[in-house]
A and B are shown apart, each in its own frame.
Chain A
């Protein structure tokens, strides 16, 4: 049975279901179990599963990540939550020097099934310290999976898939998506966090996106199809590490036109990597188009913030100019 719920409720349901399915799931982080409840996503979790399996924590991101590594090493499935991505940077040493190489250096004998939920802010002056999205950094790193869901259905299934995967996952959430709504099954279900999929079929232009840029892709596609006699195919990456090349290449072989939309900086980014992968393997009809933030920090001033984030009309303009 399905019913419409929003993204943050879908996340909450995934956590409830995972804790019901397996008593080795442990949820923790700063703000879990207090009035904020990580934007409401952990509400009721501690009351239901107890303070041993759901606990609040000090502002000690490095040690909390290390703690998750240890929990995962000894058979638990820890879910660490960062209310704001920017603070997760404190734990880079643990992610890069320990978690990412654990399976490799043990020759596959030992695994770290940790999931790290991290929320990227957007709007109302979140500014340079609360709106960064460094997902591309982690796309560069062997040994971790990086997932970025685009809708409530994806969020629930991917979070369950990530928690019950035996490898480490960084689970990015865009705060801008938390209110979005979709039909989501009540029962638990799993989505493969290592595979991309075709969200919308089309013949003439492939728009590749992930996370919040899928909403942009859908809007752009609707608008363009109204104006021109073309159809757009939308590839929802779902995972940016590993990158599911096969799904992307198959779409491009058909459309031979590529536009990548990314909520992040353009340099050394997932979008530039997608363009590189595609242009090495497919002869395109037109130059590929990359839509990203400016290579600049996010402003706090609301007027400047408004100019910083790209608009649907701007993407359409670029597309119309690029693909004649």
Chain B
């Protein structure tokens, strides 16, 4: 892979990693981000590689651990951080927080109830397909989400309708704190996915070049075959499930896993490689720029205002109609009391 491409990926990857670490550090002493936040430290690599393939009309529909994908879709950091602070300048004006973070201008959406977004991808991809747009819907789920029934309805429909979807399953082996082996006897996603006649690709490598190559293969397959692909990506979050706390200290639930993954950090690996093939100065420059972006976003969010409460109430149902509706007809009162009713048949 050429040096410039690796640098571009590193720029995104560092922005994700640093933003997570910085927010984790200030979350508690400050106590101003009062919402559940699922940090994605350790799981940045696939989102970073994906950033190099995305165009604006592609959709990303992500699970709750979404910040990496938000950043890979080039959504603004200022608005992400302000959203965590619950401010009007946030991407969702403070109404969604981290768990339902979205940025509609760039077709990025996320949500926390497991598997919903995985399934909503059917619709965006269906519209892309039937109106001949050459875009892809990317949807991200975790190994926990894969246990919901709607997932299998979705795989069936995606295959049946040959939809341009890249299903990404970030398998970090834990559903909150529960290991996958305690949740299922059949953790073999390959078998499940292939049973729906969907192409399955496994990414178990941690080096960026390998991840990038397999991602490229998946995207090319979707484009040339107009069919979905499912990627299972082995990864490990190196932060707690939710919030800034290191929940391994309290729960001690994955000591061996963390030990195993200590030497498989894609971020550190890429950084080392770039220093070797490029120079430390250019890496420092990328990092410095990212650090400024994140710190300035925090400062702006701290100073920002909160949304007016009455305005927030109006967002529930906005009474607007298509421009096909020029006016409303008056009610009719032709209908009288001598109406016959339907006599049902046995079936």
Do residues A123 and B343 form an inter-chain contact, with CB atoms below 8 A? yes
Question: In the complex the two chains form, is A105's CB within 8 Å of B92's CB?
Answer: yes
8 Å CB contact of A175 from B153, B334, B342 = B342
Set B128, B317, B321, B325: member contacting A143, Cβ < 8 A: B317
User: Does B124 interact with chain A (Cβ within 8 Å)?
Assistant: yes
Contact indicator A189/B320 (Cβ below 8 Å)? no
Stretch of A178-186, A253-261, A268-276, A277-285 contacting B (4+ beta carbons < 8 Å)? A178-186
Partner among A62, A94, A142, A179 whose Cβ is within 8 Å of the Cβ of B340? A179
Q: Does A150 interact with chain B (Cβ within 8 Å)?
A: yes
- Interface pair B120/A167, CB less than 8 Å apart: no
Interface assignment of B95: CB less than 8 Å from any CB of chain A: yes
Q: Interface readout for A130-174 with B: 1 if CB under 8 Å, 0 if not?
A: 000000000000111100001111100100010011110000000
Contacts of B327 in A (CB 8 A): 190
The 8 Å CB contact of B342, one of A60, A157, A176, is A176
Q: Mark B78-120, 1 if CB is under 8 A from A, else 0.
A: 0000000000000011011000101010000101010010011
Distance of A214 Cα from B160 Cα, bound (Å): 43
Mark out the residues of chain A between 27 and 78 whose CB falls within 8 Å of any chain B CB in the assembled complex.
Answer: 52-53, 57-58, 60, 62-64, 66-78
Cα-based distance from A117 to B203 in the complex (angstroms): 42
Give the complex CA separation of A138 and B332 in angstroms. 26
B123 at the interface (CB under 8 A from A): yes
One of B122, B137, B157, B344 near A124 (C-beta < 8 A): B344
Bound Cα distance from A157 to B100, whole angstroms: 35
A53 to chain B, nearest CB (A): 7
Whether B317 lies near A103 (C-beta < 8 A) is yes
Does more than half of chain A's interface fall in helix, strand or loop, or is it mixed?
A: mixed
Residue interface bits B313-335, CB-to-A below 8 A is 1, else 0: 01111111110110111011111
**CB atoms of B325 and A199 under 8 A apart:** no
Contact present for A93 and B124 (CB under 8 Å)? no
B100 touching A62 by the CB < 8 A rule? Answer: no
* Closest B residue to A190 using CB positions: B325
In angstroms, how far is the closest chain A Cβ from the Cβ of B54? Answer: 16
Q: Is A110 an interface residue (CB 8 A)?
A: yes
A153 to B334, CA, bound (A): 9
A-B contact count (CB 8 A): 230
A293 CB contacts on chain B under 8 angstroms = none
Task: Check if B332 sits within 8 Å of A71, measured CB to CB.
Answer: no
Question: In the complex, are the beta carbons of B95 and A105 less than 8 A apart?
Answer: yes
Q: Are A111 and B156 in contact (CB under 8 A)?
A: no
Which chain B residues in 278-332 approach chain A with CB under 8 Å?
307, 312, 314-322, 324-325, 327-329, 331-332
A103 to chain B, nearest CB (A): 6
Tell me whether A97 and B116 are in contact (CB under 8 A): yes
Contact B157 A177 (CB under 8 A): no
Name the one of B93, B150, B318, B335 contacting A62, with C-beta atoms under 8 angstroms: B150
Q: Once the chains are docked, how many angstroms separate the CA of A97 from the CA of B344?
A: 35
In the assembled complex, how far is the CB of residue A149 from the closest CB belonging to chain B, in whole angstroms?
A: 11
A197 with B344, Cβ < 8 A, contacts A58-B160, A74-B59, A110-B102 known: no
**Cross-chain pairs A/B with CB under 8 angstroms, 8 sampled:** A63-B154, A73-B123, A75-B127, A106-B92, A124-B343, A153-B332, A219-B337, A221-B337
Besides the contacts A75-B127, A110-B109, A183-B332, what 15 more A-B pairs have beta carbons closer than 8 Å? Answer: A53-B130, A63-B122, A68-B123, A107-B92, A107-B307, A109-B104, A121-B344, A123-B343, A153-B332, A166-B321, A182-B335, A215-B337, A215-B341, A222-B337, A236-B331
